[in-house]
Each structure stands twice: as C-alpha cells, then as structure tokens.
Amino acid sequence: MSDAIEIRRVVKRYGTFTALHGVSLAIRDNEFFTLLGPSGCGKTTLLRMIAGFEDVTQGEILLFGQNIAGLEPDRRPVNTVFQNYALFPHMSVLDNVAFGLKMKGVAADARRARAGRMLEMVHLSAFADRLPSQLSGGQQQRVALARALAPEPRVLLLDEPLSALDLKLRQAMRVELKQLQEDTGITFIFVTHDQEEALTMSDRIAVMSAGHVQQIGTAREIYEAPVNRFVADFIGETNLLEVEVASVAGGQARVVLPGGQALTCPSASDTLGRHALSIRPERLSLVEAGGDLKATVERVVYLGTDLQLLTRLEGGAEMQVRVQNSARARVPQPGDRLGLRIEEGAARLLAD
Ligand code: ATP
C-alpha cells in the first residue's frame, strides 16, 4: 500500500507558542486513520495544515508523494467535514450535496446524478427535497458527509464530526462511517478526543499529547502494548504503579511494588531503578488463596455484566480489578482478603 499522506518533522508555532514539535507520520492510502488526544494536543492544527487552512512553520507535508506547500486548499485532493457542519439552510438536501460540484464547474445533470448517488450512500434518498431544518441532527451530519464526499476527494478529513450528536446516534454513526470508508475506499483522517470512538473505527491510531505523537498503532497495539505512561493511562483504564526494578535476567525483571510485594515481568531493557508498571484491571482475577499479589477488597461496584473492585495491596497501593459477574459466584465484600492473579504478560513495564 502506498502512502496517501506523509508528515515529515512538522513544527507549528503560533507566535512564541509551539503547538506541534516535529511531528512525523505516514498515512496509507485507503486507511481509516485517527488522530487521538486530549484537548489542545494539536490534532486540529495538524488536520488544518493538511487541508491548507494553516501554514506549516517547519517541515513538509506530502500528499500522494507531492509536496503540497503553497498549494491552495481548493487545489488539494482533500475535503473536510467539521464538527459544526453548517448546511445551507435555504437549500434542499440535494442542492446542499451538489453545491461543491457546482463550484467545480460540473454540469447540472451530472451534479444532480452524483448528489443523488451520494444521498443513496448515506441512506437519505427519501429526504432529497427537504430543507436541513426538517432533518434530525444525525441526518444533517449525514448530509454534510455526502456533501464532502460528492467531489470525490482522495482524502476526507473529519474533525470531531460526531461530537454534536447524542450517544446512541454517535454509536450508530461510528458503524456507518467505517462502512462508508470501506465502500468508497477514500482515506479518512479522523480527529477525536474520544478513545472509544478511535478504538472502534480506526485501522490505525496516532495518540498525541502536547504537540507530540506518543504512539502509532492499531487499536489492539496501543491498548495491549502502550509505549509509555501517557498512552497506558489515556487509552482505557489501567493501574499505574511506581515500582523499583531490582534485577533483570534473561529478559525478566524482578520488580518491587509500593508496600514491598514483588513480581516478575518481561522487560525489554536492563535498566534498574524506578519505573512505571501498568496492569489493566480486567487482566487481574481473584483467587481465594495464592495468586501473584495479596490484597484486601475496599469497594465493590456492581455493573451487571461485570464487577468493579477497588482493592488495596498489602502495604499500600490501590489496585482496580474488573471481573465478570456470575449469578453463581459469591460477590466479594469489603474487607475480604484475597489473592490477585495477573494474566501472563499483563504486567508491563513502561519506558517513561
Ligand atoms: P481540541 O480537541 O480542543 O480542538 P486540539 O488537539 O485539536 O484540541 P488544536 O486546536 O490543534 O488542539 O490546538 C493546539 C494548541 O494550539 C492549543 O494549545 C491551542 O490553544 C493552540 N492554538 C490553536 N490555534 C491557535 C491560534 N490561532 N493562535 C494561537 N494558538 C493557537
């Protein structure tokens, strides 16, 4: 697969403030790629630079191998769907979708035909003659999508397009968006701060914070093998413990947890001393006796399918545990002293 977009050491400064500190990444053709990170990390800035709405302070952006510096936004083979999708209120749904084509000089008949096809694709053919105000929020967002897809861009940029919708609609639209991307084969670059949204739709995700890319990988890679504390903490839930690596031999580290209990886990480096250790709550199970760690149950939250337990390790640190609920098993109670078993490979030492 070739690269649709290559970002090379891109820096963005607003006056003295640096919003992006030398970001590099490559997005493949036909990929659903997500930029994920907390508010202010620079996702929108990066997207706006690809679209051409923002200058690049330093570095290069290549679109299908071509440096796009100096290329006007409307000359780039990209289109954008914004959070506030601002349809033209006085135009019918069909005319809204056909609008971009008119600007490109496509003839009236061809415009109507292509706009009609786009409406079919987003399941809104029956609404072609309505005004935007006569549609629900989700339908309006689908019109905005159809409008952005009509000129057949090679890359579609989506800036938090679902954030104005309620939860149920957002979940339904996730499935539709992914389907639409697969059907059209267009490269989607999707910006969100919502990790669940990113995990459910993306082929690959770039996790960003404070103007840096922290990790790039599939949903599974960044969830199962976060490279650092930020990614481990931002994606899903995890127990982050400050531990002391006492020894490393044969790729296995002996680590001492706060409170003095110790365990063995894989280690790629042989650096001793303080490290962060990440263990996902669902990779822990409860055992009556034995296990890898000893803990006392402090709180139990009943979630129906699951139980969420707050436990405290002997000697101090808190540990969240998530176990499947079963109608047959006894629900643990505060004060119970139990063993925690760690799934093999689930205790991960982080680089920083
Ligand atoms: P959000 O999810 O809140 O939109 P984001 O990750 O998309 O956040 P950006 O909008 O890219 O973040 O902004 C990155 C940083 O650059 C922020 O700290 C923001 O305040 C700053 N910034 C953005 N635009 C400008 C501007 N025109 N002038 C000065 N600073 C700006």
What are 35-50's pLDDT values in tens digits?
Answer: 999 999 999 999 999 9
To test the pocket of ligand 1, the residue of 18, 41, 55, 190 to mutate (highest count of ligand atoms within 8 Å of its CB) is 41
The per-residue pLDDT for 161 is: 86
Which protein residues touch ligand 1 with a CB less than 6 Å away?
14, 17, 19, 37, 39-45, 193
Residue 163: predicted pLDDT: 82
**Residue of the CA atom closest to atom 23 of ligand 1:** 45
Taken in order of first residue, the domains within the chain and their CATH numbers are: 3-230 (3.40.50.300), 237-350 (2.40.50.140)
Tokens encoding 1: 């697969």
Give tens-digit pLDDT for 163-220: 877 888 888 888 888 998 998 899 999 999 999 999 999 999 999 999 999 999 999 9
Burial of residue 147 (CB within 10 Å: 0-12, 13-18, 19+) is buried
* Ligand 1 centroid, distance to 212 Cα (angstroms): 13
Helix 108-121 / helix 93-103 crossing angle, nearest 10 deg: 130
pLDDT-based confidence at residue 5 (cuts at 50, 70, 90)? very high
ipTM of the complex: 0.94
Measured distance CA(287)–CA(32) in Å, rounded: 41
Average the pLDDT over 311-340 and give the result.
Answer: 90
Kind of pairing, strands 204-209 and 212-217?
antiparallel
pTM, rounded to two decimals: 0.89
Q: What is the pLDDT of residue 297?
A: 96
Instruction: State the chain's mean pLDDT as an integer.
Output: 91
What are the pLDDT digits (tens) for 90-132? 999 999 999 988 888 888 899 999 999 989 888 899 999 999 9
Q: What is the pLDDT of residue 1?
A: 55
Q: Using the atom order of ligand 1, give the atom closest to the CA of residue 160.
A: 2
